[in-house]
Structure 1
Amino acid sequence: MAISPTETEQRSEVGVVIAGETTAAKSPMRLAVDRFRHDKLSMASFVVVALLVIGAILAPILVKLGVLDYSTLHQDLIDNTNGGLPTGAHGGISASHPLGVVPGTGWDVLSRVWLGVSFSLAICLCATVVSVVIGAVLGIMSGYSRGALDWVIGRLVDLTLSFPQTLMLLALSAPIIAFFNSSLHLHGNLANAVYIIVVLGLFGWPSVARLVRGQVLSIREREFIDAARSIGASNSRIYFREILPNVWAPLLVQTTLLLPSYVSAEAALSFLGVGVQAPLPTLGNVLADATTWILGDPLYFWIPAVMIVVIVVSLNLLGDGLRDALDPKSGR
């Protein structure tokens, strides 16, 4: 029987004998990596995200070494007769300040934006981890157990989704931060950062739980789950040793999609006055400060705004690329 080109390609991937030659087998992970590498847009987004992560890791080190200085005032570069705008063209751009200085204070814009990327990504990554951990655990429990526990978790998801997230973040900020100050002895920007992490994480897990539950409803009927039950494996072992390794792919994709939404949320909350406050920079509070000077020094506004757009778009494209690469039904 003649073998079609499509069948030949599919059989070659799994290592069958064709025309007397045995082709090398490819694992599902290798196939996913190959699909991802052949997607130019996904690779470009991966390079951008990698550079952002490396820059975020290096920023605190460069501050310690004195290369980045985000808090030193340069009042000699501010023209107080012109409303506090920087002296010179384009926001005071010079060899020592490649992106200019902040109007009114003279802080170095490059240092603040670079360190702001570091703090924003750290806060949003922690919030994403909180959401993914809670959502994965509750989603596995809900999908595997079903029954009363599934109903309770489902109603908890509905209740969490019914809250107006932004309004709740603003309303709860004062009492929760006061609790952090008095009971946990967290003060200043540390309390604000922990608040953003906790609240974003606690409001973001339902989408993860629903995704995982849908995957687990199929996985729980597989033979290896029946085998684990037959040898007396505990529920916790089945959750974390049998089911969790089989849902890591959608969890990874969901993580890359949650992270950019949290970057946007952190920027919005800082713009509304809830979050890390100056002089410690995040992209949100830098952008919030820049809106005051948008007419006099528009470059100061566009630098953090474009950086937020680059981060969000790159992470979204990376998530889309991972989803397509890990989907075995996607076109090759």
Structure 2
Amino acid sequence: MSEVLAASEAAATDVSVPAAPGARPFWRRLRAQRAALVAAAVVALLILVALAAPLLTALEGQDPTSYHPDLIDSARGGVPVGAFGGAGADHWLGVEPQTGRDLFARLVYGARVSLGVALAATVVQIAIGVAVGVGAALGNRWIDQLLSRITDIIVALPLMIMSLALLAIVPQSFPRPVLVALVIGLIAWGNTAKIVRAQTLTLKGLDYVAAARLSGWGAWRITRRELLPGLAAPVITYAALLVPINISTEAALSFLGVGVKPPTPSWGQMLTAADVWYQAAPQYLMLPAGALFVTVVALTVLGDGVRTALDPRAASRLRVGTGRKREAGADKEDTA
């Protein structure tokens, strides 16, 4: 075995494998973290708003694409008429400068696009990363070397530059949200594969996996019955932390003009159009920026809470409001 492979396997043995605590202990530990519960409530509310976007805009009586030129003061360069960007009973958060499109409708429909793209990209990353990582760990020396070198190349690729290049050459007729999700997922799976490979190498050395191999089980059965359940905790944890990263990536691509295109709303695309209106119509910039900030923070805190609940040996990185004493009490109940 080459020196590179030996070093990789030695490093992999140092990676701790979170134990799958079961559903009841997991929920008990998660409930002990107040910050994670608040973050989960915020994420659930955001998902509910995104799913109920047609109903919410119907209650307001608006849609995200209709223009309202009568609500724009052309003499002032397209600034909305009225206080707070034209907010009122007909337009709850006001209207966009120049176009007069309803801000509330575009914000809730933008949540659908931003969250949907991030979740779809995460699914693609996890699927490819798990397949490549498990294949590298279970394959022979040459398969491991090949897949590991491919993974290194993928990790070294600059995500934003590659995304800009790919999104710029694809025809505009291709559905843009689907394209953005595919591009992010197909370029950013390298770290997932590295984590899965390291965890799989560690699991291979455990007694119950060796016993299954000695009993005559094939590689596919061992993977399905023994390895994949052991990989569930770290993969779920990493997936929870990937979602806010992908939301920020989608927003950055849309801000640069190669992501979601008008009239389809997304938070990043709204920020692109709002960068010249931060003085004349500050709510046009603050609303999508605030939504992005709250979503990313909530998902990050929730992901950290899931990681701590799945692996009680790991200390939370976000100590504010995590309820250390309650976590310790929950762990004592689990061991009792």
What band does the TM-score fall into relative to the shorter chain? 0.7 to 0.9
Between the aligned partners of 1:109 and 1:65, the Cα distance in structure 2 is 14
C-alpha offsets along residues 208-261 of structure 1, whole Å, 9 cap, x if unaligned? 111111211121122332233234333222223321111111111111111101
Equivalence for 1:17 = none
Equivalence for 1:224 = 208
SS for the counterpart of 1:292 is coil
Q: Is the 8 A contact 1:141 1:239 kept in 2?
A: no
Equivalence for 2:228 = 244
CA 1:65–1:89 in 2, change beyond 3 Å: closer, same or farther? closer
Between the aligned partners of 1:124 and 1:150, the Cα distance in structure 2 is 30
Counterpart check, 1:31 vs 2:15: no
The CA deviation at 1:204 is 1.5
Between the aligned partners of 2:122 and 2:263, the Cα distance in structure 1 is 25
Equivalence for 2:281 = 297
Which moved further from structure 2: 302-311 or 321-330?
Answer: 321-330
Equivalence for 1:54 = 48
One of 177, 189, 193 as aligned partner of 1:205: 189
Between the aligned partners of 1:115 and 1:98, the Cα distance in structure 2 is 15
**Matched residues, number:** 296
Between the aligned partners of 1:163 and 1:221, the Cα distance in structure 2 is 32
Equivalence for 2:237 = 253
Structure 1: which 4+ aligned runs deviate by more than 3 Å?
60-68
Structure 2 matches for 1:90-105, cutoff 5 A? 90-105=84-99
Counterpart check, 1:263 vs 2:247: yes
Q: Is the 8 A contact 2:61 2:90 kept in 1?
A: no
What is the TM-score of this pair, normalised by structure 1? 0.84
Name the aligned partner's letter for residue 101 of structure 1: V
Structure 2 matches for 1:5-44, cutoff 5 A? 28-44=22-38
> What's the Cα RMSD here?
1.8
The CA deviation at 1:63 is 5.6
One of 300, 311, 321 as aligned partner of 2:295: 311
Equivalence for 2:129 = 135
Which moved further from structure 2: 65-74 or 109-118?
Answer: 65-74
One of 34, 39, 46 as aligned partner of 1:45: 39
The CA deviation at 1:81 is 0.8
Give me the identity figure in percent: 39
Between the aligned partners of 2:126 and 2:54, the Cα distance in structure 1 is 26
Equivalence for 1:288 = 272
Between the aligned partners of 1:133 and 1:238, the Cα distance in structure 2 is 18
Counterpart check, 1:80 vs 2:64: no
Between the aligned partners of 2:99 and 2:260, the Cα distance in structure 1 is 18
Between the aligned partners of 1:227 and 1:61, the Cα distance in structure 2 is 55
The CA deviation at 1:49 is 0.6
Where structure 2 has 5 or more consecutive residues not aligned to the other structure, the ranges are 1-20, 315-326, 329-336
C-alpha offsets along residues 258-286 of structure 1, whole Å, 9 cap, x if unaligned? 11011001111001111111111011111
What is the TM-score of this pair, normalised by structure 2? 0.83
Q: Which has the higher contact order (CA 8 A, sep 6+)?
A: 2
Equivalence for 1:123 = 117
Which moved further from structure 2: 38-47 or 50-59?
Answer: 50-59
One of 303, 310, 319 as aligned partner of 1:326: 310
